[in-house]
């Protein structure tokens, strides 16, 4: 199969591209910097550039769309351009190329409106209630993708929502947790007892590949994808910190106070001058405070049955791999 993977320079996109190459697919990637995936053919460009996307999609059988603007802060127009406009551009290019299979990699945050999600499946994407521009635009992008009225005779689309993907080399979750913990700036919100699901990166990649293979049979549906091993926030953060050789968080902040403070920090961040080309992140936002103080764990039965996939790497094994990664980095 010839497959285009967008966003393959990221942790999860790279893992998906490597998994496809490993099973013998012909893989082309599209992102702004080299993917570094052996055996994949890189195409430089942005999903906001229709010409670059059309060139990259030419002749492919399937598309896995991961490229996105992922941040706790930024101009709303940037999120809209990449996460909504970029999705529309990639969808159009896939259709024009005659690609029969399309995976929209989304996020459980598209259905998070501030309260806990306990033992549920893929709830409807809600751009109105979503918290923050990332979640709002990912919700719009998912709705756009799933609204495509095609199927076996055209492009079959499935949305997959991996939850809290982590693993060796992760800069979005792991490195931020470790850095803040090492500087004593990582508190637990409330008692740290909220149960949350997470997904080891290899499992997330395998689940996305399974969705690509099953897209024709599950066209138009969305699935949350996790390890299926909910742990408390304190347990998960502590496991990551211990794997990296830093002290786990030991101080606490009331959840309500963190949410209020997060809202104030967001407001201040919107009017402050950008730092390092906008690469810095606010230390807390209301969305982040809600994520760290409310339960998020999901029923995986439909995901396993429909995608014919189950996670191969447990949380404990993933933490062992993470510890080995950090041990190899030490002098």
3-state DSSP of 36-76: CCCCCEEEECCCCCHHHHHHHHCCCCEEEECCCCCCCCCCH
pLDDT value at position 277? 44
Please indicate, yes or no, if residue 45 is contained in any of the structural domains. Answer: yes
Please indicate, yes or no, if residue 159 is contained in any of the structural domains. Answer: yes
Show the domain range for 83.
2-234+289-329
**Catalytic annotation on 200?**
no
As a whole number of Å, the CA-based R_g of the chain is 19
pLDDT value at position 48? 96
Please indicate, yes or no, if residue 189 is contained in any of the structural domains. Answer: yes
Please indicate, yes or no, if residue 274 is contained in any of the structural domains. Answer: no
Please indicate, yes or no, if residue 281 is contained in any of the structural domains. Answer: no
Please indicate, yes or no, if residue 70 is contained in any of the structural domains. Answer: yes
Please indicate, yes or no, if residue 267 is contained in any of the structural domains. Answer: no
User: From the first residue on, what is the mean pLDDT of each consecutive set of 10 residues in the chain (331 residues)?
Assistant: 96 97 97 92 94 96 95 86 97 95 96 84 92 93 87 84 94 87 81 88 98 96 97 92 91 60 53 53 59 82 98 97 92 76
pLDDT value at position 290? 65
Please indicate, yes or no, if residue 104 is contained in any of the structural domains. Answer: yes
Number of domains in the chain: 1
Q: Which of 134, 200, 223, 326 is catalytic?
A: 134
pLDDT value at position 169? 92
Report yes or no: 29 and 5 within 8 Å, Cβ to Cβ. yes
CATH assignment of the domain containing 118: 3.40.50.720
pLDDT value at position 224? 97
pLDDT value at position 268? 55
**Token pair in block for residue 13:** 């996109």
pLDDT value at position 278? 45
CA-closest candidate to residue 283, choices 194, 176, 182: 176
CA distance 87 to 258: 33
């Amino acid at each position: 199969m010839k497959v285009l993977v967008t966003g393959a320079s990221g942790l999860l996109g790279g893992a998906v591209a490597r998994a496809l190459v490993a099973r013998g697919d012909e893989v082309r990637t599209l992102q702004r910097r080299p993917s570094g995936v052996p055996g994949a053919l890189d195409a430089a460009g942005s999903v906001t550039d229709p010409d670059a996307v059309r060139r990259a999609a030419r002749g492919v059988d399937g598309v896995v769309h991961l490229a996105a603007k992922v941040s706790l802060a930024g101009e709303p127009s940037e999120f809209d351009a990449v996460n909504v406009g970029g999705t529309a551009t990639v969808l159009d290019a896939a259709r024009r190329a005659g690609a029969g299979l399309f995976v929209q990699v989304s996020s459980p945050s598209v259905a998070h409106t501030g309260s806990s999600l306990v033992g549920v499946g893929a709830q409807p994407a809600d751009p109105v209630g979503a918290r923050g521009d990332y979640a709002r635009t990912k919700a719009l992008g998912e709705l756009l993708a799933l609204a495509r009225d095609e199927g076996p005779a055209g492009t079959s689309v499935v949305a997959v929502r991996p939850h809290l993907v982590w693993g060796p080399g992760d800069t979005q979750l792991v490195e931020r947790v470790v850095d803040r913990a090492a500087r004593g700036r990582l508190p637990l919100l409330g008692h740290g007892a909220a149960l949350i699901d997470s997904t080891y990166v290899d499992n997330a990649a395998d689940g996305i590949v399974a969705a690509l293979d099953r897209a024709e049979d599950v066209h138009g549906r969305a699935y949350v994808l996790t390890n299926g091993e909910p742990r408390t926030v304190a347990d998960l953060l502590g496991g990551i910190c211990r794997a990296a050789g830093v002290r786990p968080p030991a101080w606490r902040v009331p959840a309500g106070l963190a949410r209020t403070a997060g809202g104030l920090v967001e407001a201040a961040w919107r009017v402050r001058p950008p730092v390092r080309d906008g690469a810095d992140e606010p230390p807390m936002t209301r969305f982040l405070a809600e994520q760290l103080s409310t339960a998020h764990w999901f029923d995986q039965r439909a995901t396993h049955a429909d995608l014919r996939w189950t996670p191969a790497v447990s949380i404990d094994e993933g933490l062992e791999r993470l510890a080995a990664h950090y041990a190899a980095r030490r002098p």
